[in-house]
Chains A and B, each alone.
Chain A
Amino acid sequence: MANLIEIKGVTHAYKTASGLLPVLDGLDVAVPEGTFAAVVGPSGCGKSTLTRLVAGLMKPDQGEVWLHGERVKGPRKTVGMAFQNPVLLEWRTILENVILPLEIVAPSMPRADRVARAMELLEMVGLSGFENKRPSELSGGMRQRASLCRSIVHKPEVLIMDEPFGALDAFTREDLWQTMRDLRRAEPFTCVLITHDLRESVFLGDQVFVLSGRPARTQYLMQVDLPEDRTLDVLYTPKVADMLHILRDQIKIAQGRDGEVH
């Protein structure tokens, strides 16, 4: 399968008051079409920079970012984004929030079609009946579900998520993993997920990229060899325990504590 996303030798540094802060150093990432790439790494290693590069919100100092065979030079309509903060617009209802990207991407789309598309997604994530509520009337988990609907309502090729479940409690987070899994079954997007949660990366990912400490490179790549239809139970199998163990060790190396006893 062709790679939908290709990041080749990307090096980037931020200008700060105390000089250049290199965040990425020759980063290579390739994500085949229709697959799910989870990216883990130590805090502050440049993972969020990676999402902004793929989204075309910034250009790397060196190296190339390719999306669907085209060099990324700026924002494009075929990308969806979700953040840790659901960033719902408080003055819009849940339905109008989900429709927002369609107003930009498909201004000529009839209103009825927009509503139908949004309602289809809201039903998929279990928010039927909440479409006319304001974001402030919903729980954190429900808001994040609505945010997910908004990020894929325009059928993007790529969904980029920057720790979307990071602020939720453990049980709500597991619920959303399953919602995410179901959405992927129904919608054909390719996914990049930035996370700090190793269990999340294994449950959702087809590949897990471990980034090194700053400036980040791809330090380790794990192919997640698990059935497509995963349930939460799979997380409690010895096979996954071994995978998590390997990832944990890689994170320690990335943090520069490889000598630490465990």
Chain B
Amino acid sequence: MLRQIAVPVAAIITFLGLWELLVWVNDWPNYKMASPSDLPPAFWKYKELFVTMGWQSLWRTVAGLALAVVFGTLLGMVMGFSKIARDALYPLLVGFNAIPKATLVPVISLIFIGQHDFNTVLMAFMISFFPIAVSVGIGLSTLEPEYRDILRALGASRFTIFTKIALPKTLPEFFGALKVSVTLAFIGTNLVEIVSPHGRGLGALFKSGETNGDYPLMFAVLIALAFLGIILYYAVVYLEKIFAGWAERPQG
């Protein structure tokens, strides 16, 4: 247990130390690259802003992610159970996913003018539902027929087979995808926050640091984003342990 915490903490400290050393050895000014020791003052100076902006980024990301889970799972179910739906939807989905989402920011900003919260949540959702839909779809469509037959032979309904077998069996794939989606959703949120004018959230704070030439602030925002990403990621890991802990093999 101690080792589980000590190892990542030591890795982070080593990383910060190397970063500090790199800036110090090259004698870079903070507008080229801020060093870790510049960051605490930056955090302290804008501590209220970090809390409110951080919260805005966080809730929008989580809201987008929640939409992605619901929509992605439903889409995955449709594709998992129907080959026709799979054939029809895959090219569309892949095509949509291949579009750089930055190009969609002006599009959705024009469709939903001024709806900053909505636009941000929508982007977080659009960028993160794809892995969930694909993994749920694959999980369901590759269910071995024997798993279905043990219940079907007893006259179980499709719904019972889904809830008792297909759904739990897909959970490990689902959580694997969710871990990818978490970080993607953050990218979506920040994209809108940075690009759209009069934005809010950590992305907007980054933008204001850029406008004001406050480089330590910009780096502090990046670290804050990384921190939130780590927190959300481990929240997913925690949920995975509860709901799909069975998939973890005992370490031998």
Flag if B144 contacts A75 (CB, 8 Å).
Answer: no
Flag if A81 contacts B149 (CB, 8 Å).
Answer: yes
- Report Cα–Cα, A104/B150, bound state, in Å: 11
Most chain A beta-carbon contacts within 10 A, residue among B153, B165, B171: B153
- List residues of chain A with CB within 8 A of the CB of B164: 100, 103
Asked if A105 CB lies within 8 Å of chain B CBs, one says yes
In residues 38-81 of chain A, which contact B (Cβ within 8 Å)? Answer: 52, 55-57, 74-77, 79-81
Flag if A104 contacts B144 (CB, 8 Å).
Answer: no
Flag if A137 contacts B247 (CB, 8 Å).
Answer: no
Number of interface residues of B (CB under 8 A): 22
Asked if B223 CB lies within 8 Å of chain A CBs, one says no
Asked if A143 CB lies within 8 Å of chain B CBs, one says no
Asked if B59 CB lies within 8 Å of chain A CBs, one says no
- List residues of chain A with CB within 8 A of the CB of B150: 81, 83, 87, 100-101, 150-151
- List residues of chain B with CB within 8 A of the CB of A103: 164
Asked if B249 CB lies within 8 Å of chain A CBs, one says yes
Asked if A196 CB lies within 8 Å of chain B CBs, one says no
Given A55-B149, A89-B147, A90-B247, 16 other A-B residues pairs in contact with their CB atoms under 8 A? A74-B155, A75-B154, A77-B154, A81-B150, A87-B146, A89-B165, A89-B168, A90-B169, A90-B246, A91-B171, A91-B246, A100-B151, A101-B151, A104-B151, A104-B155, A136-B249
**A residues bordering B, Cβ < 8 Å?**
52, 55-57, 74-77, 79-81, 83, 85, 87, 89-91, 100-101, 103-105, 134, 136-137, 150-151, 154
The 4 closest A-B pairs by CB, nearest first: A91-B246, A75-B155, A55-B153, A87-B146
A-B contact pairs, 28 of them (CB 8 A): A76-B155, A77-B155, A79-B153, A80-B153, A81-B150, A81-B153, A83-B146, A85-B144, A87-B144, A87-B150, A89-B147, A89-B165, A89-B168, A90-B169, A90-B246, A91-B171, A91-B246, A91-B247, A100-B151, A100-B164, A101-B151, A103-B164, A104-B151, A104-B155, A105-B154, A136-B249, A136-B250, A151-B150
